[in-house]
Structure 1
Amino acid sequence: MKLKFRLARQDDLLCLVSLINRAYRSGGAKSWTNEEGIVAGQRIDLNQLQQALAQPDFELWLLEHEQADASELQGCIGLTFNSASAEIGTFGVDPKAQNAGLGRKLLTFAEAYIQQNHQAIQILEMHVLNVRTELIAFYQRCGYVQTQKTADYPVNANVGQPLLALHLVHLQKERGIQGFAEA
């Protein structure tokens, strides 16, 4: 399988909205990263994605499977840059393509991209639902550590309604830790 990473374009938006919502909200037994039964409603809509892409500090990277006559979208990972940190979000893999290591490839790509192109970034961070213990464990295996910071679920952000009591757990990885190499 030949994989390619590239930045999202305006003509990708409808496919991305579909992929992100499938990755977060459906996928059945094969999808171990979805929030089905935890959060109801869409994860993102077209307007939200357009607004995110218009932000100068945000990049959305796509992972595509290149085929002879076309490319097929497999996943995406979003990076929001601050002065010394970058937040990882909008991270999803098509449920049909999960369990093939593509999530790790996306995360490894993002870390290497930041290492090579954003020397001022010293910390990578993300927020994960507290009940997503399998995701937290995955990120910990990738070198991320839980901080003591938590945040309320963003009920008013139009990213779905929780079906049970939720909060966000903060994880981070410092430059020089497993895969986020020193410059």
Structure 2
Amino acid sequence: MIKTTSSERFTFRNAEAADVDAIVALVQSAYRGDDSRKGWTTEADLLDGQRVDSAGVEDLIVKPASRVILMESGNDLLACAHIARLGEASYFGMFSVTPTRQGAGIGNALLAEAERVARDEWNAREMQMTVIPLREELIAWYERRGYHRTGIHSPFPYGDQRFGIPKRDDLRFERLVKPL
């Protein structure tokens, strides 16, 4: 699908195995390390280490009822997100926008596309996600787009370096939901 902003054309497509390295680099740049500080979605003050690994991304691409959506402008990867079917709901995660392009509407467009796929192609009634509650600015962004906090929490996977190296001992996840 081709969409446009006021000054740019971009396309959405499903990720393939050949995209894994670019996806890992994008996700890492959006959340961890100094590059992530160029945007506003950084987790660099909360976590070190990796956000995703190649094997995990490849698994998401090939898993049934799972899709990694890429947003591109020409040959440039601007953003990605993972969605998965969960019965009558869908899960949204691994949402990453190139740090220097954050705040330009790219995230809005990709979130809308992910919701469209979940609603129109998978007949999902609800989109779910998990967010670290300490990330109030990010939660507020999602709330402005119709998501609400559920108060349902799950533990952070301390000790599993596939999810990063925590800098704090009070991390956990909260589920956000939006009716579709």
TM-score by length of 1: 0.88
Whether 1:20 aligns to 2:20 is no
With 86-95 and 50-59 compared, the bigger mean Cα shift is at 50-59
Match of 1:179 in 2: none
Closer, same or farther: CA 28–87 of 1 in aligned 2, 3 Å: closer
Q: Once superposed, which parts of structure 1, at least 4 consecutive aligned residues long, lie more than 6 Å away?
A: none
Find the aligned partners of 1:29 and 1:58 in 2 and give their Cα distance. 29
- For structure 1, the 5+ residue unaligned runs are 176-183
Match of 2:15 in 1: 8
Match of 2:172 in 1: 167
Select the residue among 109, 128, 133 that pairs with 1:130.
133
The one-letter code sitting in structure 2 at the alignment partner of 1:44 is: V
Find the aligned partners of 2:179 and 2:9 in 1 and give their Cα distance. 30
Select the residue among 92, 96, 101 that pairs with 2:105.
101
- C-alpha displacement at 1:2, in angstroms? 0.7
Find the aligned partners of 1:114 and 1:89 in 2 and give their Cα distance. 13
The one-letter code sitting in structure 2 at the alignment partner of 1:166 is: L
Aligned residue pairs total 170
Find the aligned partners of 1:157 and 1:123 in 2 and give their Cα distance. 30
Select the residue among 122, 140, 143 that pairs with 1:140.
143
- For structure 2, the 5+ residue unaligned runs are 1-7
With 8-17 and 26-35 compared, the bigger mean Cα shift is at 26-35
- C-alpha displacement at 1:29, in angstroms? 4.3
- C-alpha displacement at 1:115, in angstroms? 2.1
Find the aligned partners of 1:54 and 1:111 in 2 and give their Cα distance. 20
Aligned-pair Cα RMSD in Å:
1.3
Percent of aligned pairs with the same amino acid = 31
Find the aligned partners of 1:77 and 1:49 in 2 and give their Cα distance. 11
Cα displacement string for residues 1-23 of structure 1 (whole angstroms, at most 9, x for unaligned residues)? 11100000111111111001111
